[in-house]
Structure 1
Amino acid sequence: MSALSLPAAILPAAALLSLSACSEAQTPAPAPASESASPQDQFWQALSTHCGNAYQGALVSNDAADADMQGADMVMHVRECSDEQISVPFHIREQGKEWDRSRTWVFTRTADGLRLKHDHRHEDGESDAVTMYGGDTADGGTATRQSFPVDAESIAMFEREGLTASVTNIWSVEVGPATAPDPEFTYQLTRTVEGGAPEPRNFRVTFDLSQPVDAPPAPWGF
């Protein structure tokens, strides 16, 4: 029932209650201390502070397998954000080539932690034969770094596609909040002989989160 339909005798009391409610609403509840949030929640919040922004990055590792990417233009775009999922397209332009917009990192909250998947598309929007691979966090990580060991579904896909070296993949992501001094975002793929890989692998790209750039076009398929 609205105030307009209340009997006249009740209106003064209703008005007092309304004023009291307004007074209470204007008193902000104390913000929870950041230390009280789990490391994964803090990591999620840090990534969320960059929603809508795009940033330039570069390859900082030197594996021979990535020689073509040395000096390539790289842009990440924190393009879509919700409480449950954050999508980050990763655009690459190698020297003398057109932009490759096939890759999107997809972060998702799960009941047990966080998940990272790789959405790979062709230029016509069709999914690649190797797509939506990744893994879930195996521990709490830290507020700025989370690691994602390869999951069983991805292992089965890699084996089916003959990519047996990838069955020991571990992906790690580091991110600083927008309020941090000189924040960065780093994506890393590693494989180790100790972890069962035939040879070590290290792919690492870092983005400067202190200097947003113009947002790129949508990734392929979106």
Structure 2
Amino acid sequence: MRSPALYRFAILIVFVLAGQQLAAQSPFLEKMRTLCGNSYGGRVVFPEGGADPFSGQALSIHVTSCKAREIRIPFHVGADRSRTWVLTQLPEGLQLKHDHRHEDGTPDEITMYGGMANAAGTPWVQYFPADAHTAALIPAAATNEWSLQLSQDGKTLSYILKRDGALRFRADFDLTTTLH
């Protein structure tokens, strides 16, 4: 007879944890929404010394499309405008996807990878472990974890990629100066 009570207790714990997770995701999304309509310049922070193909190129993000449940952030690397980060508030939580397009607007073969925010997020940072679609599309990225982090002083947005728990890439965007 204890199993129904244990089952109800487990369901309660799941709902409490899900509520806490969503409670951190909503304020994060609202903070991101305050960037809507603006563009910001950035730089590669890691790896240092030109070890990344993005190093030495002009980086910029353009928070151009903000709908009720979705924020689209085109990420430009030099003249390459093929990347867009898509943050979507779904019933089960916050999702980050990477939308890659060709110049003519058609989807790249490798596109819409990413994942759902996990429970470790806060109103200032959200972590997105690779989902099953990503693992199938890009097997080497199965252990990826992307994060978006807003500094508490509101001056920086960081985009961070870890693989197998090790830092692989970090770019910081200066939110104090908008690009024209």
TM interval, shorter chain, is 0.7 to 0.9
SS state at 1:40 partner:
helix
Specify the structure having the higher radius of gyration (Cα).
Answer: 1
Corresponding residue number in structure 2 for 1:119 = 99
The answer for unaligned runs of 5 or more in structure 2 is: 1-21
Give the aligned partner of residue 185 of structure 1.
157
Q: Which residue identity is paired with 1:203?
A: F
Question: Contact between 1:102 and 1:121, CA under 8 Å: does it hold in 2?
Answer: yes
SS in 1 for 2:110: coil
Q: Is the 8 A contact 2:94 2:117 kept in 1?
A: yes
Return 5+ residue gaps in structure 1 as ranges: 1-36, 94-98, 159-163, 215-222
TM-score (norm 2): 0.82
3-state SS in 2 of match to 1:122: coil
- Partner of 2:46: helix, strand, or coil? coil
1:133 counterpart residue number: 113
CA distance in 1, matches of 2:153, 2:46: 23
Write the distance in 1 (CA, Å) between the matches of 2:137 and 2:50.
21
What is the Cα deviation at residue 64 of structure 1? Answer: 8.1
Contact 1:182 1:208 in 2 (8 A): no
Out of 170, 177, 181, the position equivalent to 2:145 is 170
The one-letter code sitting in structure 1 at the alignment partner of 2:144 is N
Structure 1: distance between partners of 2:148 and 2:100? 18
Identity of aligned residues (%): 41
Counterpart for residue 171 of structure 2: 205
* Cα distance between partner residues in 2 of 1:105 and 1:66: 23
CA RMSD of aligned residues (A): 1.9
Q: What is the count of residue pairs matched by the alignment?
A: 159
Residues 158-190 of structure 1: CA deviation (Å, up to 9, x unaligned): 1xxxxx3211110000125xxx64521110111
